[in-house]
Structure 1
Amino acid sequence: MTVIDIHCHAAGIGAGASGCFISPKLRRSWKYPIYLKSFGVTSGELEREGDGLVLRRLSERLAASSRVQQAVVLAMDGVMDGRGDLDRDRTEMYIPNEFLARECRRYPNLLFGASVNPSRPDAVERLDAAAAAGAVLVKWLPSIQGTDPADRRLIPFYRQLAKLGLPLLTHTGQEESFSRADNALADPARLRLPLEEGVTVIAAHCATSGQSHGERNLARLLPLFAQFPNLYADVSALTQVNRWGHLERVLAHREIHGRLLYGTDMPLPAMGLTSPWFHLLRLGTMEARRLAAIGNPWDQDVQLKLALGMPEEILFRAAGILRNNQL
């Protein structure tokens, strides 16, 4: 059976006419060189070979995994201004669908995850184009893109998502990877509207970080599982050092095990943020040492999550959820 990582990121600086960009503020950040290193590239290499190099390196590293066969690589739409145009001044990272779809077609182990900000005047048309280009899901980062999932003006967008059979993978909980975020928009309770409209919604990170209205976000997400069979969540990033204990907290709710999907939030595991040594008290020295010796980041991520109690069937569920996935 095929194991698919549904939550894998790309990057680009605009090299090779990719259309990508990273804001000057983010490029000046201490995080920028670390991100490049985690993708296995340098700025010089990207300038010479183009941003497609990120996808080639990603595919090569994934091909060396013995546990994970495919990964959904996520585009990143930007912030829109009052006219519905891309606001470059407020967008920290932009990875256009056209670039990512083209590059993913080069590698059978990389699946195209589109991103469409619904504030665009042509958002529905962009959804259609993404589906035609082979998108298997649509990714949102509401707290960064300025999208309110509860806005009823998005109903036509949701209905088209449901018609196309495109799942919506949307960040839930506190966002910490960018320099600014409106975390009120990542309140999982705001997902009720797309769920009511029949969209298959995947709550990224299972809302394990932060609070909304004085209540833990995970507590606000859990009741929705009982109400909506079209709600899922991924386990990406739940073993990071800044999310210590989050995977165990999610797995304690056995009633949602059948709704959990496997994801990594790559390249963050390649940055050492999910080292087994952070889980020494739970694993013990010998097991932590064994897991730390696994060189491939996907293989280590799978084995670590299994060691922490993740049921193995979670690894195989995404193949039945993604749109038109060709296995």
Structure 2
Amino acid sequence: MLNRRHLLCCGAAAGLFTALTASASPSLSALSPGRATRHAPWPPEVQALLDRCWADLDATQLWDVHTHLLGTGDSGSGCTVNATLDQWWHPVEMLRKRFILKAAHVAPDAPSVDLAYVARLRALAEAFPTGARWMLFAFDHACDAQGQPVPAHTTFHVPDRYAAHVAAQAPQRFAWVASIHPHRPDALARLDAALAGGAVALKWLPSSMAIDLRDPRLRPFYARLAEARLPVIVHCGEERAVPGARREDLGNPLLVRAPLEQGVRLVVAHCASLGTALDLDRPRPRHVPAFSLFARLMDEGWGDQLMGDLSVVLQTNRHPDVGRTLLTRDDWHPRLLHGSDYPLPGIAAAVRLPTLVRAGLLDAADVAPLDALRARNPLLFDLALKRVARWRGATFSPTVFATRPHFERASVA
């Protein structure tokens, strides 16, 4: 029998990767900016929380930098899902899918998972003031050393063209993020096409996609990224959600020095806040918290060339010291970026509010309105949680939520 801790890990894993199978019920009512559904206003205590949330923020500068766009391909999107997610002899994989379907409010019998997922996301986004946008991730295949796709190592695939298409249908709410495996023979041509198509960033998950950031063959790709100033959002730290190639060693935060040295702009997803990695700076490397290596990089003088996104940093499987450090290091705040890792915020067990209260990161009075907010709009919940989180009086600065300037300069659209 799976114990409680293992279930939580599986659920969190589901959030990041089987979000691809997630989707929303197309019958979900639309949400109107600023309050809740068109049919019911927020309760007073929730509206008061939202008023605090937006008090000193400019919604036109708020771009959620970590949003998964996922699907099964049932609409002709080209998205794919690894077959293990539907095979009873892979119970953990099936459990991941089950968790994320529930988190994304998708009906198991939805006529189209692709379309329902986008409909749900658009409905949730409409609860935000005009100007707020979400950066939708494409996700490339895992590839071998010759750049050929390896289906067995590809947990899910979201084509660039699909991400660009969805963003183009609602440009006032969505931008898109390309994903190109740099070993592909046509990687540079794909990158140029993504730039011409208005991609605002590039997404890599090295441990899953089998990308060694130190590989000398990546230098021409890095040169083009640096020339275009296109940021790379790269997952560092432990990866429980998208096993893929299972190269955990490639998620070491210190490996981002290779593209940084070539002038590439980097966003470390989740601030490398989960798991351990080898401290390669030691004569005898040993495993240390991956977050400590991220902190080292942030203090090395890379300036705004190196950033971190705050998605899931307050999740229950992160040590409270992660949140405490990020809140109090206000010198980092101009380089820390708001992201939700949607649809993960829809998994209630992933963020246990009483646990944050006990850790001193949340006021007990905020638990009830946050719970009510999460039940109806996990995107607003995620934003509000970051806005009210605190440690000994320190909170996240408004600059953390003014993410647009870091990406719009890369857009050609």
Report the TM-score, using the length of structure 1 for normalisation.
0.92
Q: Secondary structure at the match of 2:152?
A: coil
Q: Which residue of 2 aligns with 1:99?
A: 162
> CA–CA distance in 1 between the matches of 2:403 and 2:144?
38
CA contact (8 A) 1:68 1:299 kept: no
Q: Which residue of 2 aligns with 1:263?
A: 339
Q: Which residue of 1 aligns with 2:288?
A: 215
Q: CA deviation at 1:254?
A: 3.2
> CA–CA distance in 1 between the matches of 2:131 and 2:238?
28
> CA–CA distance in 2 between the matches of 1:149 and 1:128?
20
For residues 51-90 of structure 1, what are the structure 2 equivalents within 5 Å?
Answer: 51-66=114-129, 69-90=132-153
Q: CA deviation at 1:64?
A: 1.4
Judged with a 3 Å threshold, the aligned counterparts in structure 2 of structure 1 residues 110 and 142 are, in CA distance, closer, same or farther, namely same
Judged with a 3 Å threshold, the aligned counterparts in structure 2 of structure 1 residues 157 and 103 are, in CA distance, closer, same or farther, namely same
For residues 1-327 of structure 1, what are the structure 2 equivalents within 5 Å?
Answer: 1=58, 2=60, 3-28=62-87, 29=93, 30-45=95-110, 48-49=111-112, 51-66=114-129, 69-108=132-171, 109-179=173-243, 181-213=246-278, 214-225=287-298, 226-229=300-303, 230-245=305-320, 246-272=322-348, 273-281=350-358, 282=360, 283-294=362-373, 295-308=376-389, 309-324=395-410
Residue identity opposite 2:257 in structure 1: R
CA contact (8 A) 1:167 1:323 kept: no
Q: CA deviation at 1:27?
A: 3.3
Deviations 1:4-30 (A, max 9, x none): 110001211121221111111133420
Q: CA deviation at 1:320?
A: 3.4
Residue identity opposite 1:276 in structure 2: L
> CA–CA distance in 2 between the matches of 1:93 and 1:227?
36
CA contact (8 A) 1:291 1:300 kept: yes
Deviations 1:270-304 (A, max 9, x none): 12223433322222432211222223222211221
Unpaired runs of 5+ residues, structure 2, are 1-57, 88-92, 279-286, 390-394
Judged with a 3 Å threshold, the aligned counterparts in structure 2 of structure 1 residues 81 and 324 are, in CA distance, closer, same or farther, namely closer
Structure of higher CA gyration radius: 2
> CA–CA distance in 1 between the matches of 2:263 and 2:364?
46
> CA–CA distance in 1 between the matches of 2:410 and 2:145?
34
Residue identity opposite 2:405 in structure 1: A
Cα RMSD for the two superposed structures: 2.1
Q: CA deviation at 1:310?
A: 1.7
CA contact (8 A) 1:261 1:318 kept: no
Q: Secondary structure at the match of 2:109?
A: helix
> CA–CA distance in 2 between the matches of 1:68 and 1:211?
38
Residue identity opposite 2:147 in structure 1: G
Judged with a 3 Å threshold, the aligned counterparts in structure 2 of structure 1 residues 150 and 299 are, in CA distance, closer, same or farther, namely same
Residue identity opposite 2:368 in structure 1: R
Q: CA deviation at 1:175?
A: 0.7
CA contact (8 A) 2:267 2:307 kept: yes
Q: CA deviation at 1:216?
A: 2.0
- State the number of aligned residues: 325
Judged with a 3 Å threshold, the aligned counterparts in structure 2 of structure 1 residues 67 and 271 are, in CA distance, closer, same or farther, namely farther
> CA–CA distance in 2 between the matches of 1:57 and 1:21?
19
Residue identity opposite 2:399 in structure 1: E
Unpaired runs of 5+ residues, structure 1, are none
CA contact (8 A) 1:67 1:299 kept: no
Segment drifting more, 147-156 vs 211-220: 211-220
Deviations 1:86-132 (A, max 9, x none): 11122111111111111111012011111111111111111111112
CA contact (8 A) 2:203 2:233 kept: yes
Judged with a 3 Å threshold, the aligned counterparts in structure 2 of structure 1 residues 107 and 67 are, in CA distance, closer, same or farther, namely closer
Segment drifting more, 65-74 vs 19-28: 65-74
Residue identity opposite 1:305 in structure 2: K
